[in-house]
Structure 1
């Protein structure tokens, strides 16, 4: 069944931005509630037409595929569609891929697309991914990641003149993007066909020329920014990693068993229970270079890696997992926003830490087996603590800029997970300062030679 809706026109200030929406669906049944949605609020799955529909949290829950692509000012347009890119005016050189989270669609990016286009200009082609809309996010991080990689390849192949690439992802979309870049990653080679020496491993300086910082390409393009907003990089297992559970031991114990029933492979992967007991969970493998992909090398190829994390009021993704920190590394954030960026309260640069990378010790395999067969508060805690530490050790091999966001003074602070990417401009506009910060960071990095070092 194929249906096409009429174009949706969204205007802001003096500019008009045109969006082309194409719906391709099977008319499938509208689905199941999801206790730990990392993109849509938990509550709107149970009350689609009531209060939370009013709040803007309830978008759509359909087994369909929506494609909304951007993006133009009135007289110079770069319109991305499923058939390619039609160009009117300047030739874009920088592809910025927007990746939504679980049970979401490209429509979540309407405000962000318009704002980024206004701030960044025609040098950017802003493309909202549509290959993992709604229930397609249930097929696992690896499945969604491969689809995203294929979609990016198609955009690059159909667009002439692209030289650079960046990713901006919300919630679970950050994990999809991390998997996708490992598929799209290619190591630079020297003139004799041998892998080029990694300049970062020789020199730990933070600033370099753009040309010398390139360690590899993503889809054949120079990787610039990898940015995530409220992404569960360490999964959602463990105390307050999924704040909706309030840290209640009985809920922390039961939900990992229920999650696969509700959301399939994605649930098992987020709760670190996927695979055989002797095999490392996917998120741990994604903190290293392994047989599944060059995950860390792909991250390290980007000039800049940034995580935006809600310090509170985010019921879907906890502060620790979204900022890739240990419990002991969480300190009380400032209350005052940075000048010009409301609700952005702190920016920290975390240099890379040399490490052999993550391991999966025998005790971890044993703890995983116990957590799968007879979960209890004690054995699930032990298993998570081991895996979380190993994931952090792997991910901190590349440097990160960590941006803390606090909506404590916002009118709707409890909508922090949707505020951070302004899912609905009317009800989640508290995050406008965050998007302004993202846009200015991307613009600065696009013309700068500064990059965040990786120790590989």
Structure 2
């Protein structure tokens, strides 16, 4: 599946995080919080792509080299990032690119080349298949930007949230019990049937801080959170889940692209909204248990109807943080139905319609770098 996570991917999702050096290290960020925000989001969200930009590359990295690591991707571990050789000029930013299921580090080829061209040698770019404890080496660095591309933050259960099912109710309800057979644990997580019946689904837990991890605190540590969402033509991830919006908040976007960023049609800054954290109510737990133990059409339908309540709970949790929401529309592209791969230019010759989106990502990171420099100078 496609793009950046982020849960990132081809159901890629891509998550990117950026770390900055310069002595301005946030003492409130621990190694566990920085790794949990990205690793949990990537491994458990499934599709999409993610970028994490963390600032504060440790001076101990100076004049050192990184060794490529190759581990079993089925376990969600690091897979052979490109070897980073010794560098003459020490970069002070680390940019980590993470893809999701059904994808590989090679899907970042265009993005990596374009970011290097636009951002220069000041950024060290690191590609991995999925975040793991190995990324904890960046702990102690100041988190700057967290970026997702076509990522199902709310899962894919719900009307038109898995677009290739065409919004047909019976297909959307039957997809949940079938998904685990096709994509294993990720399928259960995306359809909210993972874990014990009495325990909230992982995506609901990730909209708060809980005993499993300080998820929201980790996301809050980043200065900037940016999501890129396909308005239409994305066959894998619906607009509502990738943009963390309610159905009533999906207003028709402009058809004209922003100057200099083809197919980027709108940018909205959503400030944090004070609200209670998400809840997993008893009726939801009961419906989940029945759907797990006896996954027939009737039981699946009952739990499916409760998912709207869970989606609202997840939105309540995630909207406690500010988000910059970037809407992307490939309606005028030659191949609009490749939107899920276009958004991060999976293949330069086939999906280059997304070049304007990648340029927007690069300029957003550069803008954060400028703001960081101004702040540090004051």
Spell out, residue by residue over 1:363-418, the C-alpha distance to the aligned partner (whole angstroms, 9 max, x if none): 22123234333443741332211110110000001000000000000001000000
1:426 aligns with 2:346: no
Question: Residue 442 of structure 1: CA displacement?
Answer: 0.1
Question: Hey, what's the Cα distance between the residues in 2 that align with 1:434 and 1:411?
Answer: 16
Question: Hey, what's the Cα distance between the residues in 1 that align with 2:253 and 2:267?
Answer: 10
TM-score where L is the length of structure 2: 0.76
Q: Is the 8 A contact 1:39 1:103 kept in 2?
A: no
1:152 aligns with 2:151: no
Candidates 172, 177, 180, aligned match of 1:257: 177
Q: Is the 8 A contact 1:303 1:450 kept in 2?
A: no
How many equivalent pairs are there?
A: 302
1:376-395 alignment runs, 5 A limit: 376=298, 378-395=301-318
Question: Residue 66 of structure 1: CA displacement?
Answer: 4.9
Question: Hey, what's the Cα distance between the residues in 2 that align with 1:450 and 1:118?
Answer: 20
Which structure carries more helix by proportion?
Answer: 2
Question: Residue 90 of structure 1: CA displacement?
Answer: 1.3
Candidates 291, 300, 313, aligned match of 1:371: 291
Question: Residue 67 of structure 1: CA displacement?
Answer: 2.4
1:247 aligns with 2:167: yes
Question: Residue 112 of structure 1: CA displacement?
Answer: 0.3
1:222 aligns with 2:112: no
**Where does residue 263 of structure 2 map in the other structure?**
343
**Where does residue 92 of structure 2 map in the other structure?**
93
**Where does residue 214 of structure 2 map in the other structure?**
294
Q: Is the 8 A contact 1:350 1:400 kept in 2?
A: yes
Give the SS at the match of 1:410: coil
**Where does residue 125 of structure 1 map in the other structure?**
124
Structure label with greater radius of gyration: 1
Which structure carries more strand by proportion?
Answer: 1
Q: Is the 8 A contact 1:253 1:380 kept in 2?
A: no
Task: Note the residue ranges of structure 2 that are not aligned, 5 or more in a row.
Answer: 1-45, 50-72
1:397 aligns with 2:320: yes
Larger RCO, structures 1/2 (Cα 8 Å, 6+ apart): 2
Q: CA RMSD in A?
A: 2.2
1:77-226 alignment runs, 5 A limit: 81=83, 85-130=84-129, 132=130, 148-154=131-137, 156=138, 219-226=139-146
TM-score where L is the length of structure 1: 0.63
